[in-house]
Structure 1
């Protein structure tokens, strides 16, 4: 197997098979060999190479690869292994249009991987190449796929340059990070490791000991490049606390503007920091209560300049195109000010009462948007609830002081149950047309009230003969996020409904098809869960253990 085939040899073989060997000669065929037989020989050899994962070298191999490491995790139950093979084999046809009733298996792969990782299973060795190929094509799959692939996946990735992303994404290329008590190994990796390894090391140290992580970063801070300082400083988000303030204050004088801005953002997330107090004083001087009016009203006087102190504390002086400078500076000040300072400044009012106040001179949208960003940054659930307001309020479903994008970020600060309840109320009041990005922040599977609200809204749209393709995004989300236990409630919706006179042509058939696909997908997800949680039969477990012991490694070329 020491030839040097073209990288797309497999595709050329497939093309020859589709066109016929009389119209296209198979590549790399032996002289005098009949074309059909040569095609089959080449395909057999290429298939072995693909499964082995090792591309032929340009020079004779000097030594065989080391055997793959053992994976101590239990093997997948047989039914789950077969399911994984079918998920990895599913590929959408080029130019595919209408999906019909068949589930989109590739969209279920992330959920399957999450379940398999939660149970701590190891993948079948023969499926590792297909798993790495899938992760190569979809970056969103990589963290879960590489965790599932385990040590053998990394071993295999070293043999094929197409899979080198696995080595880049895994600190230490499979060697792992130093143990918590390995002071010498930690220092050596911090001084000599690749940048990705150093970031992973700093994050790991911060998770177990924030002080040690900060000291590790401080030990080389003065010699780091500006772009590296930015990413390393961002790692302090892990375990961020008041003890980090002195280091972050020093970073405010960094020669890199981006480093200064990140340091200021981190300090503003610490409500007790000196920077937060400075920002509170600045923001407080811009927003005040006007008690001369009949109705309590907030008046806003935005900054007239961005002075050196504001710049040092992270305020960007240059406004984006189309944005006024004064409103740009005001937004940054209010965003960085601790939310806890506002009730005392505004007459002891609660966040809900403050948000309800009238704001003079069209500053309401700017002020509320800045409070939204502050609530998200400071993870303040009370302010988030106040800014979200009632999901049934008229302004919740249309233009208002708080946009839907901002509401989605605010929802992320709430607990999963409260979040789902708010979105369910929103859908019941405003329908699904504006709810897509709100559904994206809800925990999976959707809580029962949210699932019922989505199904009811889809049913209403179906009965009204609404244009069906405008709901395809929500239907796709439902396939992945609806609790499989809801499948029984959908049986009646699989029939083709009577179409109103003003309905979109063919809408009834589309709705029936979409609900049939939804039910099929939910049942498939339920089967996936059952396959991964079912105990392995004793005979199968013994056979798997024996086979693994005899194999000892993934087959190599």
Structure 2
């Protein structure tokens, strides 16, 4: 009587190659018996045993080879070590991962990843070095979030590039550090500057030009001039954009030449830069053209501004950056008019309009429905020319009725105008806006305020959130503002939230479950503020 042999009785074939074993497995032991010669039903067992033995040999065996060169040691980081408590906090922030659930409540736990940018900013301000053991996690976080990269790479220091050379997942650090881990040449190192400018990758050349421009504007402009005629149009546009840093009257001759560039985009950018120089020849030409379009009508009972938009876009206007073809749905004359107005120096209008101040000019009625077009162009001019006086006039009082909705100056335009004001004045204006109009239109304005928010601004936001809660407002409408508050509210305001943690009684017209949501949101806000305070204390910044 035949019996099936036990596995111990089956000889294991170790001479068969891995390819032979794979072929036998694919064809089947009936069609191709194993090299062991095991009979019948024992053949599959013999094949598996042979495959197991070969697997172990493949994993454990290593063919002798020439030893690879060791990598160069990581560069030293001379910055002071991070305090122990701060290092533990960083490890906690890096270990946190955003939730994967969609649409549900966030609960009361802080979003630690959203605190990482603020932590990095504080650590960089103190000049600390990153702990070596946390660099991989830090680079992984920066790989997944491009907004983190500048601060993360600054904190990681020279070892970020060293690690990036060893791991292709972190190659973004190489792109962000032109020239590898070697420092950019100094402007006075003429030979290295010329070599990198002529032979470097495009990203390296942009970084070199920006670095030199930040220190010696004239040297950067002269370097750009050496290859300007041979650069591609898209590259000329990027290089020209770097002249925004340190823009001054000395740049005018170069920019005037760029007005004749064969690329329309380059011409437009050169014209924009020249119009930001009120003393430039282009600004003077635009002032003449714009002044011909605007005047004060003194024949009316109340003085008014009358507008006569240009009837054509001639070649000289086009050379000075006026785009002749209007976008779809936009009239040509209003399109040309807006471009002239935003490029003209704002100092033109006091003399042209009877010696009036910007506030008085903005208050004048404008005939024939040109007010929105005119004020919008003046907004763009104030932002371009960084004119805080005109910005204040166009912003008006934050409590004015028109500030809360569409008007001659839109909310987006107000946000840009606020950027021309000092941080304290900007925060005060937004606080006044929120006190008068609530939070429904304030998100865009809050995003431009310095962090942490000033005391008046923070109190205005908390008061407005409390008013919205008491009014039974739909709570999820304010989740964006609540998220901003978690990142931007001064941690000193945490104690003011203690009275808002209870679940309020819900009125009949309130959104179902709104009270619980508001209580959770305020509790999370308070917890986050205390966590931010602890973070700053660990870094020694309070």
Provide TM-score, normalisation by structure 1. Answer: 0.85
Q: Of the candidates 310, 314, 321, which is equivalent to residue 328 of structure 2? A: 321
Closer, same or farther: CA 359–63 of 1 in aligned 2, 3 Å? same
**Partner Cα separation in structure 1 for residue 519 and residue 192 of structure 2:** 61
**Partner Cα separation in structure 2 for residue 90 and residue 118 of structure 1:** 23
Aligned to 1:276: 283
Aligned to 1:81: 87
Q: Of the candidates 377, 381, 386, which is equivalent to residue 374 of structure 1? A: 381
Aligned to 1:49: none
Aligned to 2:184: 177
**Partner Cα separation in structure 1 for residue 455 and residue 413 of structure 2:** 25
**Partner Cα separation in structure 2 for residue 170 and residue 401 of structure 1:** 44
- Contact residue 146 and residue 153 of structure 1 kept, 8 A: yes
**Partner Cα separation in structure 2 for residue 253 and residue 260 of structure 1:** 7
Q: How many residue pairs were aligned?
A: 485
Does 1:168 find its partner at 2:175? yes
Deviates more, 1:257-266 or 1:209-218: 209-218
Query: SS of the counterpart of 1:231?
Result: helix
Query: SS of the counterpart of 1:372?
Result: helix
**Partner Cα separation in structure 2 for residue 249 and residue 529 of structure 1:** 49
Report 1:26-65 matches (<5 A).
32=52, 62-65=68-71
Deviation of 1:61 (Å): 6.8
Aligned to 2:339: 332
Over residues 468-489 of structure 1, what are the superposed CA-to-partner deviations in whole Å (9 max), with x where a residue is unaligned?
0000000000000000000011
Deviation of 1:180 (Å): 3.7
**Partner Cα separation in structure 1 for residue 245 and residue 200 of structure 2:** 21
- Contact residue 335 and residue 370 of structure 1 kept, 8 A: yes
Q: Structure 2: which 5+ runs fail to align?
A: 1-49, 60-64
Report 1:106-145 matches (<5 A).
106-145=113-152
Deviation of 1:134 (Å): 0.8
Query: SS of the counterpart of 1:359?
Result: coil
- Contact residue 293 and residue 307 of structure 2 kept, 8 A: yes
Aligned to 1:6: none
Aligned to 1:520: 527
Does 1:470 find its partner at 2:472? no
Q: Of the candidates 529, 536, 540, which is equivalent to residue 533 of structure 1? A: 540
Aligned to 1:343: 350
Q: Structure 1: which 5+ runs fail to align?
A: 1-29, 43-58, 536-557
- Contact residue 77 and residue 534 of structure 1 kept, 8 A: no
Aligned to 1:4: none
Report 1:157-556 matches (<5 A).
157-533=164-540
Deviates more, 1:379-388 or 1:286-295: 286-295
Closer, same or farther: CA 277–534 of 1 in aligned 2, 3 Å? closer
Query: SS of the counterpart of 2:179?
Result: helix
Aligned to 2:9: none
Deviates more, 1:94-103 or 1:179-188: 179-188
Deviation of 1:32 (Å): 4.8
Over residues 197-238 of structure 1, what are the superposed CA-to-partner deviations in whole Å (9 max), with x where a residue is unaligned?
111111222222211111111111111111111111111111
Provide TM-score, normalisation by structure 2. Answer: 0.87
Higher alpha-carbon Rg:
2
Query: SS of the counterpart of 2:305?
Result: strand
Query: SS of the counterpart of 2:306?
Result: strand
- Contact residue 187 and residue 219 of structure 2 kept, 8 A: no
**RMSD, matched Cα:** 1.9
**Partner Cα separation in structure 2 for residue 231 and residue 180 of structure 1:** 20
**Partner Cα separation in structure 2 for residue 385 and residue 60 of structure 1:** 72
**Partner Cα separation in structure 1 for residue 490 and residue 229 of structure 2:** 52
Deviation of 1:60 (Å): 8.1
Over residues 424-467 of structure 1, what are the superposed CA-to-partner deviations in whole Å (9 max), with x where a residue is unaligned?
00000000000000000000000000000000000101111111
Aligned to 1:72: 78
Larger relative contact order (CA 8 Å, sep ≥ 6): 1
**Partner Cα separation in structure 2 for residue 462 and residue 519 of structure 1:** 16
